[in-house]
Chains A and B, each alone.
Chain A
Amino acid sequence: FTPKDTSIHYYPSKHQSINGQILNMQSNTNRPQSSHTSTSWSSDSGEPCGTGNKWAPRLLKECARAISEKDSSKIHHLLWMLNELASPYGDFDQKLAAYFLQALFCKTTESGQRCFKTLTSVAEKSHSFDSARKLILKFQEVSPWTTFGHVASNGAILEALDGESKLHIIDISNTLCTQWPTLLEALATRTDETPHLKLTVVVTANIVRSVMKEIGQRMEKFARLMGVPFEFRVISVLNHLGELTKEGLGIQEDEAIAVNCIGALRRVEVEERGAVIQMFQSLRPKIVTIVEEEADFSSSRHDFVKCFEECLRFYTLYFEMLEESFVHTSNERLMLERECSRNIVRVLACDDINEGECERRERGSHWCERLKEAYSQVRFSDDVVDDVKALLKRYRTGWALVLPQGDDHHSSGIYLTWKEEPVVWASAWKP
């Protein structure tokens, strides 16, 4: 990722600040005797949070290191400390500590799979159309995290399919169709001849499937209201997205196809991603829109510490964003944090088994490399870029759009940045 100009650059991670007391631990990384370790620990154990914030990343990273070094006494001590200090209802550090502690604990005890399953089933039980809707709409109201990708993708889709009379969008996303009302409205108002729109939603998560029926009904009603001839279908695929076919998706010859993939590619097992991209190609789309979060949990997946640090970096950013976007007492924020905690467990403590939702993000540039094998990039038009910028203006400050420049290799797609850190990447492709 090369930002547009030199005025935008990564700030060093805030969590690099050294906390004097905790630094003492560093001197013990030469595998000391356990007794030695414990004495040096006890001198510190009283005070980490006394020295203010940002203790959590320190402790967490130490623990991660300890785990990868299999230093069990250190692990135990750190886990104990974290446990004492952490709380999902506390301040920022406490929260961070709580959620990552859970993952570290699972990693140590090799109970990641079970934990993840439990967390997921708990979530599913309390999940309903109403709660899901409330959550996502509220999130979209306070943060452009998801709407950024929506506006960019819709713009690209509308432009690519302009003039077509039968549109068919294959939607593989995690945003519960909140992208489509504005597209429907645009189709109704901006084009002279309102085309027919068929929307085929591919569902990969159980938790989503249960609410899709209701969502479909709402979409259909809304399309009627808009006066757009509309058809809605849901296809369930648990794994192996790559196995979808043209026939399976009900694609007709006279339809203009768009594939819209938001937050979905990262759920595909890393080895299968190439196949899925090829599969999109087999559908002969006029445009493919890909939106993903900017983080790398893939290339480091065999290096626990590296993966951990990247995970910590990304989720720290995300949690900070949540904290600044929502009100302090927001229930929605809590729900989103919990969802993250599941994903953190998934990434850090579960081996990649074929159960879908692996959540291994890749950076935009990395996705570009994959996608360039099958597609050529489509630049977002000036109009679309303007629309996105206008969107960002409607939110609190801190958000910006960055158009990467530099060599061609990295120049496709646009980035959403928060406090100058790129967080979401959106791109468009054509065969």
Chain B
Amino acid sequence: MTEEEFQNSFLENPIGGFNPPVVKKKRNLPGNPDPEAEVIALSPKTLMATNRFLCEICGKGFQRDQNLQLHRRGHNLPWKLKQRSTKEIKKRVYVCPEKACLHHHPSRALGDLTGIKKHFCRKHGEKKWKCEKCSKRYAVQSDCKAHTKTCGTKEYKCNCGTLFSRRDSFITHRAFCDALAEETARVSAACNNVAMDTLNYPFMGITLQEPSMAQHFSSIFKPISSNGETTIDKKQGLSLWMAQGSHHHDQISSNLQEIHQLGSVSSGSTYAEPIVLCSNIPPPSDSELNWVFGNKSSSINVHEELTSTSLPMTNVKETGTDQLASVPSLFSTQQQHSHITSAANMSATALLQKAAQIGATTTDPSFLGCFGLKCNSNQVQDANTYCGLFGSSTITNNIGSDVESSANDISTLNQMQLYPCKRRQIRRDDNSGGHTRDFLGVGVQATINQWMDLI
């Protein structure tokens, strides 16, 4: 059952990549059978039998007696077709004879004779039919036929852009692919305390996406205006926190929003890793915040202050964990700036410290410019410079490989640091989000200032 559902998910999402069966879906219960219906329990033999009615002359088998009778005419044999009985035909429902089966109980009876036959064969029958191409086995011939039609036509696409026609080689490739290594794997919900000694995700915030989300990136990289509005709202909260330059805050926030947008592709995934990153720090009540505030040492003030303003807290909650994925990217750019190689090993503390440091020492837009990596295709030229981190001109695809190559591209980073941020060009076209939304009703300016003070 699961396997079929798994297959189905591929059919829906053929190029969507590998959809891991994390949750095993339960079939919906069929409609309740008519309580007035007559419950029939056929024997296994009956259910599995095909063509029980045999012609005595030629041995040809038929599923129904009616068909046999009609056939007998051809042999000039006496034939008799049963008339439909005059009284009302009572509605019939069928139960499965297998005692352990769910459908054995009348309340789960199936209304269709063909249905119960197929069910019995599928669940309790021998798998006699086999797909030629992949040797998958089926008990019901129609199932097998349906499968063979699509077998081998599926294509599987890895995050890194490679296409596969064979599932097994796709799976093996995926397990070893660098795109997987840089992703935050789905951590099981219970896992909140994974020791993150290696931060593989750093600025590769974008690659935190699940595999199936890879295709979403192309949409993300479309002009902001087209899909900016809808998602912008969600991102405001974090941008509040992130904004450092007061006079640039609106632009920054828009830049950040765009970043958040990039990071928000996956829906409902647990980016536990970036969050967890800070879980070894005295957490505020909300563990999701940890990564933001998590801080072992001196920046504890920051942590507490920020908590007290409850600035992002609400926002984070509202916006969900999926944005958080992108924020680490902001920090990690700092990492990249200072120590490419040790980026993977910096703790949350250090990240925050660095952020604080840089924020305090300079309102240099170049720093913030890093955040402005929009890859907004409206501003491709500039985006390219900034997108050096995220991969150069080919924004829309092969994210994994681009990111990979740019991971080592220190020079692009330096570029970003040195060149003044071309802020204007990065600003979104549409100004509706020009002002940072004030979710808390605190007053945007006030919050920004508070944050600035803390640094």
A residues at B contact (CB < 8 Å) = 133, 137, 140-141, 147, 151, 178, 180-182, 184-185, 188-190, 192, 215, 217-219, 221-222, 224-227, 383, 386-387, 389-391, 393-394
Contacts and interface: CB of A to CB of B under 8 A. Distances in A.
B168 interface: yes
B186 A387 contact: no
B84 interface: no
Contacts of B176: 133, 137, 178, 181, 215, 218
Interface stretch (B52-60, B130-138, B301-309): B130-138
Given A189-B2, A386-B130, A147 B185 contact: no
Interface of B: 2-3, 6, 20-22, 24, 130, 133-135, 137, 166, 168-169, 171-176, 180-181, 183, 185-188, 198
Nearest to B1: A192
* CB-CB nearest 10 A-B residue pairs: A181-B175, A386-B135, A390-B135, A222-B175, A224-B185, A221-B185, A227-B22, A181-B172, A390-B134, A181-B171
Contacts of A182: 168, 171-172
A55 B304 CA distance: 82
Given A224-B188, A389-B135, A390-B133, A218 B180 contact: yes
User: Chain A interface secondary structure, helix, strand, loop or mixed?
Assistant: helix
A224 B135 contact: no
A390 B168 CA distance: 11
A181 B166 CA distance: 14
8 contacts: A182-B172, A184-B175, A215-B176, A218-B176, A222-B174, A224-B185, A227-B20, A227-B188
B180 A137 contact: no
A352 B166 CA distance: 42
Given A189-B3, A221-B180, A393 B185 contact: no
A391 B167 CA distance: 11
A140 B135 contact: no
B21 A188 contact: yes
Nearest to A191: B2
B135 A387 contact: yes
A353 B174 CA distance: 40
Contact of B133 (A218, A227, A393): A393
A108 to B, nearest CB: 42
B174 A189 contact: no
B169 A141 contact: yes
A101 B45 CA distance: 69
Contacts of B20: 188, 225-227
Nearest to A147: B168
A188 to B, nearest CB: 6
A287 to B, nearest CB: 21
Contacts of B173: 137
Nearest to A188: B21
A224 B175 CA distance: 11
Residue among A147, A182, A217 with max Cβ neighbours from chain B (10 Å)? A182
Given A189-B21, A394-B166, A178 B172 contact: yes
A261 B147 CA distance: 35
A221 B20 CA distance: 13
A190 B3 contact: yes
A188 B5 CA distance: 13
B371 to A, nearest CB: 28
B171 A185 contact: yes
A184 B137 CA distance: 21
A194 to B, nearest CB: 9
A181 B156 CA distance: 15
A219 to B, nearest CB: 7
B332 to A, nearest CB: 19
Contacts of A180: 175
Contacts of B172: 137, 140, 178, 181-182
A389 B24 CA distance: 29
A181 B174 contact: yes
A186 B258 CA distance: 39
Contacts of B174: 181, 222
Contacts of B24: 192
Contacts of A218: 175-176, 180-181
A397 B169 CA distance: 18
B181 to A, nearest CB: 6
B205 to A, nearest CB: 17
Contacts of A133: 176
A157 to B, nearest CB: 16
Contacts of A221: 180-181, 183, 185
A102 to B, nearest CB: 32
B283 to A, nearest CB: 23
Contacts of A147: 168
B185 A219 contact: no
Given A192-B2, A219-B175, A225-B186, 10 more contacts: A137-B176, A188-B20, A217-B198, A221-B180, A222-B175, A224-B186, A383-B137, A389-B135, A390-B134, A390-B135
A393 to B, nearest CB: 7
A227 B175 CA distance: 13
Nearest to A134: B176
Contacts of B168: 147, 151, 182, 391
A140 B173 CA distance: 10
A184 B180 CA distance: 15
A147 B168 CA distance: 10
B418 to A, nearest CB: 31
Nearest to A215: B176
A175 to B, nearest CB: 10
B180 A225 contact: yes
Nearest to B131: A390
Nearest to B136: A390
A217 to B, nearest CB: 7
A222 B170 CA distance: 13
Contact of B185 (A140, A184, A185, A225): A225
A222 B2 contact: no
